[in-house]
Structure 1
Amino acid sequence: MSDSTTRVTTWSMEQTSPADLRPARVPDASSGIRIERAEVPSPEFSRFLYTAVGGELSWTDRLPWSYERWRAHLERPGVETWVAYEHGTPAGYIELDPQPEGAVEIVYFGLMRQFQGRGIGGHLLAFGTARAWDLAERWPEREPTKRVWLHTCSKDGPHALANYGRRGFRVFETRTEEEPDIPAPGPWPGAHQAGTH
């Protein structure tokens, strides 16, 4: 196992008012783009989205999760997964996690590679952030949202930080650390990558 490390910068970003959210261009109807909430908690579907989007971005924290842990997480009141589709095919997702004192974290957000670079991400982020702000309307037991926040880091896609900034998120903390080099598992964790044996 390699002992090499990589210097990783993490930016924590927030909005503190719904007025902070800046809209993105909405794709026209002919694009086949739509966003829907996955209302039925499904560990299988959520794990698919997590690996398909995060496999190339070194998302590994949930790979060891059991089925029961996935289900318990997804069944927590207020946890929401909003999925972007293009002509019926999942393109990416945004996951919202409500926390104490009216905070909602955007825990995961991203698109699969073949859907990137066409404005879908900006639309999904703006839509998902708006759903974070109005989350209590769907979950009356949750207090109204006072803050929406997230982390992004230098291992995320090259446009992630700028996309968050364009939607009105502000950096409130920056941290740089050495992290062990862990190969990205790819969208099929445990399977051989194309061109390898």
Structure 2
Amino acid sequence: MNITVTTWSLEQTSPADLTPADVAGDIARISRAEVPSPEFSRFLYTAVGGDVRWTDRLGWPYTRWQEFLERPGTETWVAYDRGTPAGYIELDAQPGGVVEISYFGLLPAFRGRGIGGLLLSTGTARAWDLADRWEGRATTTRVWVHTCSKDGPYALDNYRRRGFRIFDTRTEEEDEEGGPAAAGPWPGAF
């Protein structure tokens, strides 16, 4: 059976575009995963993306994860709720002073509690400070991300509330049953 999937590409072109989340209290701690760990990154990827069918990295061998995570300008920031990983944001600096938010999301049990707004605010602020290390630029000139209608129900609104603007929209038909099975932290989790 086919489903219609809409993908939105969003961007900020100035640090002044960022509208930080208005968060009351200490809902989560955000910290950088400073040691590149393919095991931890793959755990985050499958635990966050399993129920929304993130599959493009499932076939990556350990060495590809390691190479990606060790690239200059690649950073992973993790939200913790009382010591438990709740979600992550992955930044990927690219030529020309551009930083892509390559992955962002929360584990299902932590969604809808305000952690996503805090994590996206923190990660986007870091993206604006992340210099383009390939060209020796001192500043980031653009931060961008894409999300789709298969992502969580709050995803697009969260990006817009943080000041991201849509610059491209694409709609495609996808085979709902096609492609690799949904990941998840263990087989059959979703």
Band of TM-score, shorter chain: over 0.9
Segment of structure 1 superposing worse, 18-27 or 99-108: 18-27
Q: Does 1:19 align with 2:10?
A: no
Given candidates 75, 79, 84, the residue that maps to 2:74 is 79
- Cα RMSD after superposing both structures: 1.8
* Structure with the greater alpha carbon radius of gyration: 1
Q: Does 1:98 align with 2:98?
A: no
Shift of 1:188: 3.0
- Secondary structure of 1:136's aligned partner: coil
Shift of 1:141: 6.5
CA contact (8 A) 1:11 1:171 kept: yes
Length-normalised TM-score, structure 2: 0.93
- Unmatched 5+ stretches in structure 1: none
Paired residue total: 187
Mapping for residues 90-129 of structure 1, pairs under 5 Å? 90-129=85-124
Q: Does 1:133 align with 2:121?
A: no
Instruction: Provide runs of 4+ in structure 1 moved above 3 Å.
Output: 139-142
Identity %, equivalent residues: 67
Length-normalised TM-score, structure 1: 0.89
CA contact (8 A) 1:27 1:120 kept: no
Shift of 1:121: 0.4
Counterpart residue number, 1:153: 148
Call closer, same or farther: CA 1:181–1:142 in 2, change over 3 Å. Answer: farther
- Unmatched 5+ stretches in structure 2: none
Matches of 2:189 and 2:35, distance apart in 1 = 32
Mapping for residues 38-53 of structure 1, pairs under 5 Å? 38-53=33-48
Given candidates 155, 160, 164, the residue that maps to 1:169 is 164
Deviations 1:28-72 (A, max 9, x none): 23x4x1000000000000000000000011100000000000000
Given candidates 22, 30, 35, the residue that maps to 1:35 is 30
Matches of 2:156 and 2:62, distance apart in 1 = 32
- The one-letter code of the counterpart of 2:7 is T
Call closer, same or farther: CA 1:79–1:69 in 2, change over 3 Å. Answer: same
Given candidates 4, 25, 35, the residue that maps to 1:7 is 4
